[in-house]
Chain A
Amino acid sequence: MVIDSHVHVGESLFGYKLTVEELLSCMKECKIDKAIISPVKPRNYHFEPENDFIANCVKEFPDKFIGFGRIDPWQKEKALEEIDRCIKTLKFKGLFLHPWEESFLVNGKLLYPVMEKAMEYNIPVMISGGHVRVSEPLQIGDIAGEFPKVNIIATSGGQINICGMALYDAENMLTENKNVYLETSGIYRQDFIENMIRKLGSFRVLYGSNAPVMDIRYEIMRATTARISDEEREDILGRSISKLVKDEE
């Protein structure tokens, strides 16, 4: 079972877009069985209709998709109500947060009620990681330390830095916080993924593409070409995320 743990469906305010049909065709081409899908930030800035859209996609293709809800923490009470709706009504398995696109500090007090909700529902929170000033590795480590019972999926391993200068912090953050999972999209460098599989265990490393921002056909190769054992590869390509979202049946 191959699962892409990070895909956005819809048309983003920021120009990128992906339709269900395009995603299904790409999954077929890349031999991906399932994908975790979550909303883009739409032109009208409202996540509720986008969450509905994702729920409908999951309803239409229950064997292909797992839904994650997206909220803007700046909406405060409304965001918390939307989390309730995402989990109770739309049956989503997790939350997606984008500190860069929604302009909030991942370790700011604003996020605490959101994390408390995630703890209450026992759902993982995927955080777009590695953005300067808002979701740097140590900032993700800070919020992870405050909420050790909430599983956090840090996209790009929490570091997007082509200089390699964030690798040290990301490695320490992942080592110290056992509730943080490394998602592989766009990662600098490939040996960071391979080393972290050895250091953290393959159950804490998840293949994700961050499509359509990134290219599924390329991103999956980070997992398929990594110099790791077959067992480890099966973990990062599907088993790890499957356990995390309790999708094992």
Chain B
Amino acid sequence: MVIEESFNPHRIKQKKLTERRESCLIIDAHAHIQELIGSSWNSPPERLISLMDRAGIDKAIVMTYSDMPGSDSELLRYVAEATQEYPARLIGFARLNPGYGPLSEELLVLAITKMGMKGLKLHPVGYGIHPGNEVTIKLIKKAAEFNAPTLFHCGDEEYTLPLQIAEAAKKCSEATIILGHMGGYFHVQDAIRVAEKYPNIILETSAMPYPYLIRETVDRIGPERVLFASDGPGCDPLLERKKVELANLSKKEIELIFSENIIKILEKVKKY
């Protein structure tokens, strides 16, 4: 079984980075890897890492596009092997379908305790279960037993809307819930609203196209609950990084959003 080295940001080997910066570490809180040969979604780890190099990004949290359990039973192992091959660059999250109940929970425990993964990724569009549904809640609570965060795809589609995910945040107040894409194109105001209401909700910036809304988010919920992410390699990490840099943030806010906040979250995850 593959076990990742325990996470320590200070041990990251500095690669040749195209985009230099003064001191701030950059961790991408949401990116993808998966072999999908022949598709534009094909994302071997090397595709992501070369874009991270170009963008000056030190480390990325990676997950697959497909859910486990699913047609490809090797997906968790694929992520584990990639994080083992690139321990200084990649951190794994287990993308699961909560609909299999005990089996989903078992896979999550395996992923965290034996495969070095640090969190749960849920994309309800893939499996069609409401974020507030009992099976989803059980899985989020299981992750929380390990202090592992749950990253939701949070956009403009049914079952991914901020107000729907808020139900999960309410039912699992002990869990850290990250809203990936912070509400997408049309639901950012809802995402900020629910983050104002529930202190366990964190917003993540990937693919949402409005720099000014990152500034507004920081003004309304503080810089400690905002994470930089790219949704790479489909979205370009360089472009996503520039977006945050255009949001009129202070140096301290930038440091928190680019890495300090996510480091704090990952450090709490139980180590095995």
On chain B, the residues within 8 Å of A165 by CB distance are 125, 157
**Count of B interface residues, CB-CB < 8 Å:** 27
Over the window 202-230 of chain A, the binary record of Cβ atoms lying under 8 Å from chain B Cβ atoms (1 yes, 0 no) is 00000000000011011101100100000
- Does chain B have a CB within 8 A of A201? no
On chain A, the residues within 8 Å of B236 by CB distance are 189-191, 225
A35 to B41, CA, bound (A): 34
Interface contact B234-A161, CB-CB below 8 Å: no
- Does chain A have a CB within 8 A of B184? yes
- Does chain A have a CB within 8 A of B250? no
Over the window 229-257 of chain B, the binary record of Cβ atoms lying under 8 Å from chain A Cβ atoms (1 yes, 0 no) is 00101111011001100100000000000
Over the window 36-59 of chain A, the binary record of Cβ atoms lying under 8 Å from chain B Cβ atoms (1 yes, 0 no) is 000000000000000000000000
Q: Which of A186, A195, A225 contacts B185, CB < 8 Å?
A: A186
Chain A stretch 85-130: residues in CB contact (< 8 A) with chain B:
none
Interface contact B239-A222, CB-CB below 8 Å: yes
On chain B, the residues within 8 Å of A162 by CB distance are 155-156, 181, 184-185, 207-208
On chain A, the residues within 8 Å of B41 by CB distance are 164
On chain A, the residues within 8 Å of B235 by CB distance are 188-191
Contact (A215, B212) CB under 8 Å given A160-B185, A162-B156, A189-B235: yes
On chain B, the residues within 8 Å of A215 by CB distance are 210-212, 246
Q: Which of B155, B208, B231, B242 contacts A221, CB < 8 Å?
A: B242
Main secondary structure of the interface of A (DSSP, over half): loop
On chain A, the residues within 8 Å of B23 by CB distance are none
Indicate the size class of the contact surface on chain A.
Answer: 20 to 34
Over the window 130-172 of chain A, the binary record of Cβ atoms lying under 8 Å from chain B Cβ atoms (1 yes, 0 no) is 0010000000000000000000000000001111110100000
Q: Which of B40, B160, B209, B234 contacts A186, CB < 8 Å?
A: B209
Main secondary structure of the interface of B (DSSP, over half): loop
Output the nearest chain A residue to B157 by Cβ-Cβ distance. Answer: A163
A132 to B210, CA, bound (A): 19
A162 to B153, CA, bound (A): 9
A219 to B210, CA, bound (A): 10
Q: Looking at the assembled complex, report how far the CB atom of B237 sits from the nearest CB atom of chain A, in whole angstroms.
A: 9
Output the nearest chain A residue to B156 by Cβ-Cβ distance. Answer: A162
A104 to B212, CA, bound (A): 29
A191 to B48, CA, bound (A): 12
Contact (A190, B212) CB under 8 Å given A160-B185, A161-B156, A195-B40: no
Q: Which 6 A-B pairs have the closest CB atoms?
A: A189-B234, A162-B184, A190-B236, A162-B155, A186-B209, A189-B235
Chain B positions within 8 Å of A, measured between CB atoms, are 40-41, 125, 153, 155-157, 160, 181, 184-185, 207-212, 231, 233-236, 238-239, 242-243, 246
Sample of 14 further A-B pairs with CB below 8 A, known A214-B209, A215-B246: A132-B156, A160-B185, A161-B185, A162-B185, A163-B160, A186-B185, A191-B40, A191-B234, A192-B234, A215-B212, A217-B246, A218-B211, A219-B209, A222-B239
Q: List 24 A-B contacts (CB under 8 A).
A: A132-B156, A160-B185, A161-B155, A161-B156, A162-B184, A162-B208, A163-B125, A163-B155, A163-B156, A163-B184, A164-B41, A164-B234, A189-B207, A189-B234, A190-B234, A190-B235, A191-B233, A191-B234, A195-B40, A215-B211, A215-B212, A218-B209, A221-B239, A225-B239
